[in-house]
Structures are given as C-alpha cells and as structure tokens.
Amino acid sequence: MDNKKKLIIIAGGALLLLIIIVILALMMRRRSTPAGQAQQSTQSSSPTDQSGGGNEPVELLYSGLWESSDTMDALISKYEAEHPNITIKYTQQEFAQYEDKMYQRILENAPLTPDIIRFHNTWLPKFQSVLTPMPDDIYSTEEFSNTFYPVHVASLTGDDGYIYGIPLEVDGLVLFYNVDIFDEAGIDKPGTDWDTVRAQAVELTKTDENDEIQVAGLGIGSADNVRHAPEILELLMIQSTNDNTGFYDPTSQEISFEDQNGRVADALASYLSFVRNDHVWSPDIRSDLEFFYSGRLAMFIGQSWEAIDIIKANPALNFKAVPTPTLGTNQMYLGSFWAEGVSKASQHPREAWEFLKWLSEPEQQKLLYSTESGVRTFGEPYSRRDLSSELESAPYVGAVMEEAPYFSYFPAGELYVTTDSLRDAIRNASSGDDPDTALQSAAQDINDYLEEALPSK
C-alpha cells in the first residue's frame, strides 16, 4: 500500500474518532444539565408560557357567587371524569363585601386563596394587578373576539393588552313592561327610542283627584326609589356622548364627567325631567320594583335576572321584556356581566385557564343553562355569539340577546363606589344643584376612593 492511501485511511479514522468524541461529549452534557435550565432557554415572558401540564395531582379552588355547589357539581364532575388528575373544589361565596375581601385575599396570598374567582366586568382596573392574564393559546385575541361579544372584549382587556377573564354569561339593562296596562291603553309594546317611551309613559300615568300617582308610566327621574337609577343615568350618559371611553383614564386612574358640549350634564337633566316635567314618576312612591310587581307601574328598567324576583313576588303578573330605549336609531345599550378569572396566587394557572376554556364551550354553557333553569325560571344568558339564536325568542332573556351585540359598558374603575356617587349626583341635582356641579362632585368622590383603592402605576 503506497503512502498516499495510508494517509487517507489515517485521516478518515481520525475524523471518525473525532465525531464519536463530540457525540459522547454532547450526551454527557445533556445528562448533566438540570431540567429547569433546559426549559429556561425556551421560556419567555408571554402569558402563553404559564406552567402546567403533566399528570401530577392538581387541586383547584373555585370561588363563585350566584350558583350553588349543587348547580356546579354536574359540570365539575364531568370535567374531573375527563381529567382524573384534576380535583376542583367549588365554594359559593356571600356577596356582602365579596369584592374587597377577595381582592385582599389574593393581594396578601392568604391561606386557601382561590385559583379561580368570579368578578364583575367593571372591576378590572382594580383587579388586574391580582389576576393572571389569559394565555394566548387558550383563546387568541381573534378567537376571543369572534366567540364573545364586543363588550366582553372591551371590558376584560387590561391596559397591557392582555385578556383577564372568560365570560360565562352576558346581561345588561332591559325594559320590562306590564302587558295588561299596555293592552288597556291600546298600545302594543314600548317604543324603541326615548322620545316614544317618554310619550307612552305620560299617556299611561294615572293620577287621582289629589294628583297623586296611582299608575306610574316609568320608574325614572329620582334617586332613592329607582332601583337602577345610577345605571339608567350611565345609559343616558353613554348614549348622549355616543362613547364610553372618555369617562375613565387608565393611565391617570381617574374618572371625569367633564364634557365641553354639555352632553353629560344634559343626560342628568334629561333623567330628572321625567319627574320634573313629565310627572310619570314621583320620589314619594315606594320602590319602582315593588310598584311594578304590584301591577301599578307600566315600565320598569332592570336586569334580566330581576324577572325571577318579579315572578316570585307576583306569579300572576303579565309582563314581558324588550331592549331599553335608544337615542334615535343609534343602538347602544348598557351591558353588565360577570366573568371568571385566575388569581395571581394560583399555583396552577395553566390548569385553571384550561378548565375555564372548557366551561365556556357550547356544550358546557348549554348544560349550565339547563341546570340553572332547573332551580329557577331561567339561566344566565349565553356569553357565546354562536348560541344567541337559541335564546332570542326566550321570555325575558331574549331582550338581552337582542341587545348583546350593541352592549357598551361604563368603565368606572369601581362599580359600587361609582353607583353610590352617581346616586348622590341625582339626589343633589334633584335638590337644586346644577347638574354639571353635581356630576363633578361625584367624580371627585370616585377619584378620592380610586386613589386609595387602586395600586399605583
């Protein structure tokens, strides 16, 4: 064998030996690298990468509000059967002081802090800092927008662009009306706009010889005996401005009712005029809800679930629900709903979000509605767009389905402080304050609270 062939064989052998050494070195390095370090290089700060997966036992604590454990058991048992490593413990919480108590529990990471909570859509400015953003692979932004209603997207999206809750229902203000009172007057049903409803309320109001109202046209115009006075004012405010984004500034975390064209103050003046000018209601009457189920109020503005209370109070009352009036032909209604979110204290956010995604799917929403309807008159209206046709002709909730694509919301930062302050504004303006002055005072009260309640940015 000549020297040239020997050199080729030696070089080939050396190269093969080098390849074997490199492979062995890589295998040894891989074995010596901790699993956490190997995963770390592929992780990012995106919510998509929340921990989870595997078959290790996982227990999720779920705090609800309106549904009993019996109602939720059918769903939870079904999920646990499909996911044997998951155990879900559901607790129905008392509503009194729920908001503050839950916020503090998560903030302090107290013992037995729930993984999943129910929160109102107007609470997000406060709760965003104690909730976990939804991973992108649970619902992408596009999928979420196509599945749920615009009000869900708008009010559950944080100021960082992430979504913080999955809705299992949708609701808002509707207009209930006494069918017998309308039939007696020869009116088919309430009009679709405020001008028509105002005229109908005047026509339907009946007084005695002392000008005391015996049958009222519409519960509106006062502060203390109109159950949803603040929400009706909010509806008029967003309709008058044709916008809901200008009231709350997430950057400054302040609310403002200032409007250069005076439309916000005009909304309050319009609200008061139903008593001052039209006399379709009186601050001296007992509450509008009581007057309605006693058969002496032609129209009552409330949320769909209040039909259940009305039926319990007076099963014989003949009443229906339609969407609330609009300003002209521009459809804008006030939405108000609850959503499920994942606590920042959760040790299993991935599993929690996967369960909530499952709950929001059509089959589970139908099962929940059916179960709820077994213990009360009807369940919570579906949050999914693709299920709306199944309820559009249903009593009471059909009106919600008609409104849902056009729901707006009042981004006030703190639901009950805002409603209390707006009720004060109605009360003060009724007593003689200028509407604009009354609203600015309400805004100051809200901002004073927000300064203390919201985490600073």
Give yes or no for residue 309 having a pLDDT over 70.
Answer: yes
Give yes or no for residue 173 having a pLDDT over 80.
Answer: yes
* Nearest-angstrom CA–CA distance, 231 and 197: 18
Alpha-carbon distances, residue 405 vs 129, 293, 337 (angstroms): 29, 29, 14
Give yes or no for residue 7 having a pLDDT over 60.
Answer: no
Q: What is this structure's pTM? A: 0.86
Min mean pLDDT across 16-20, 360-364, 391-395 is at 16-20
Residue 261 or 341, more confident = 341
Report domain extents, the chain: 50-171+336-405, 173-334+414-453
* Nearest-angstrom CA–CA distance, 396 and 400: 8
CATH code given to domain 173-334+414-453: 3.40.190.10
- Average pLDDT of the segment spanning 294-306: 97
pLDDT in tens, 35-49: 333 333 333 344 655
Kindly compute the dihedral angle of the four CA atoms of residues 338, 342, 343, 347, in this order, to the nearest 10 degrees.
160
Give yes or no for residue 172 having a pLDDT over 60.
Answer: yes
Q: Output the pLDDT for position 20.
A: 52
Min mean pLDDT across 58-62, 70-74, 128-132, 253-257 is at 253-257
Give yes or no for residue 220 having a pLDDT over 90.
Answer: yes
The candidate with the shortest Cα–Cα distance to 144, out of 117, 119, 166, is 166
Q: Output the pLDDT for position 265.
A: 94
Q: Output the pLDDT for position 457.
A: 58
Instruction: Give yes or no for a contact between 183 and 412, defined as CB atoms under 8 angstroms apart.
Output: no
Q: Output the pLDDT for position 253.
A: 80
Q: Output the pLDDT for position 246.
A: 66
CATH code given to domain 50-171+336-405: 3.40.190.10
Which residue's structure tokens are 């809750």?
165
- Average pLDDT of the segment spanning 137-159: 96
Return the amino acid letter for 98.
Y
pLDDT band at 245 (very low <50, low <70, confident <90, very high): low
Q: Output the pLDDT for position 349.
A: 97
Q: Output the pLDDT for position 384.
A: 98
Q: Compute and round to an integer the Cα radius of gyration of the chain.
A: 29
Residue 339 or 2, more confident = 339
Q: Output the pLDDT for position 247.
A: 83
pLDDT in tens, 393-417: 999 999 999 999 999 988 766 678 8
Q: Which two tokens stand for residue 334?
A: 């006030």
Instruction: Give yes or no for a contact between 256 and 445, defined as CB atoms under 8 angstroms apart.
Output: no
Give yes or no for residue 272 having a pLDDT over 70.
Answer: yes
Mean pLDDT of the chain: 88
Residue 112 or 195, more confident = 195
* Nearest-angstrom CA–CA distance, 382 and 219: 28
Give yes or no for residue 269 having a pLDDT over 70.
Answer: yes
Q: Is 117 exposed, middle or buried (CB count within 10 Å of its CB: 0-12, 13-18, 19+)?
A: buried
Give yes or no for residue 128 having a pLDDT over 80.
Answer: yes
Instruction: Give yes or no for a contact between 383 and 337, defined as CB atoms under 8 angstroms apart.
Output: yes
Q: Which two tokens stand for residue 94?
A: 């008392």
Instruction: Give yes or no for a contact between 163 and 360, defined as CB atoms under 8 angstroms apart.
Output: no
Q: Output the pLDDT for position 50.
A: 58
Which residue's structure tokens are 């008061």?
272
Return the amino acid letter for 12.
G
Q: What angle do CA 322, 326, 328 make, to 5 degrees?
A: 135
Strand partners, 297: 216
Residue 33 or 251, more confident = 251
pLDDT in tens, 59-99: 999 999 999 999 999 999 999 999 999 999 999 999 888 88
**How many other C-beta atoms can be found within 10 angstroms of the C-beta atom of residue 371?**
18
* Nearest-angstrom CA–CA distance, 305 and 312: 12
What's the full length of the chain, in residues?
457
Return the amino acid letter for 333.
Y
- The percentage of the chain sitting over the pLDDT mark of 70, rounded to a whole number, equals 86
Q: Output the pLDDT for position 15.
A: 52
Give yes or no for residue 53 having a pLDDT over 70.
Answer: no
Identical fold, 50-171+336-405 and 173-334+414-453 = yes
* Nearest-angstrom CA–CA distance, 333 and 323: 8
Residue 101 or 202, more confident = 202
Residue 183 or 453, more confident = 183
Q: Output the pLDDT for position 97.
A: 86
Q: What is the 3-state secondary structure (H, E, C) of the chain?
A: CCHHHHHHHHHHHHHHHHHHHHHHHHHHHHHHCCHHHHHHCCCCCCHHHCCCCCCCCEEEEEEECCCCHHHHHHHHHHHHHHCCCEEEEEEECCCCCHHHHHHHHHHHCCCCCCCEEEEEHHHHHHHHHHEECCCCCCCCHHHHHHHCCHHHHHHHECCCCCECCEECCCCEEEEEEEHHHHHHHCCCCCCCEHHHHHHHHHHHCEECCCCCEEEEEECCCCCCCCCCHHHHHHHHHHHHHCCCCCCEECCCCEECCCCCCCHHHHHHHHHHHHHHCCCCCCCCCCCHHHHHHCCCEEEEEEECCHHHHHHHHCCCCCEEEEECCEECCECCEEECCEEEEEECCCCCHHHHHHHHHHHCCHHHHHHHHHHHHCCCCCCCCCCCHHHHHHCCCCCCHHHHHHHHHHEECCCCCCHHHHHHHHHHHHHHHHCCCCHHHHHHHHHHHHHHHHHHHCCCC
Residue 113 or 451, more confident = 113
Min mean pLDDT across 27-31, 66-70, 281-285, 381-385 is at 27-31
- The percentage of the chain sitting over the pLDDT mark of 90, rounded to a whole number, equals 72
pLDDT in tens, 208-219: 999 999 999 999
pLDDT band at 117 (very low <50, low <70, confident <90, very high): very high
The candidate with the shortest Cα–Cα distance to 153, out of 161, 142, 145, is 145
Backbone CA torsion sign across 134, 139, 145, 148: negative
* Nearest-angstrom CA–CA distance, 428 and 116: 40
Q: Is 351 exposed, middle or buried (CB count within 10 Å of its CB: 0-12, 13-18, 19+)?
A: buried
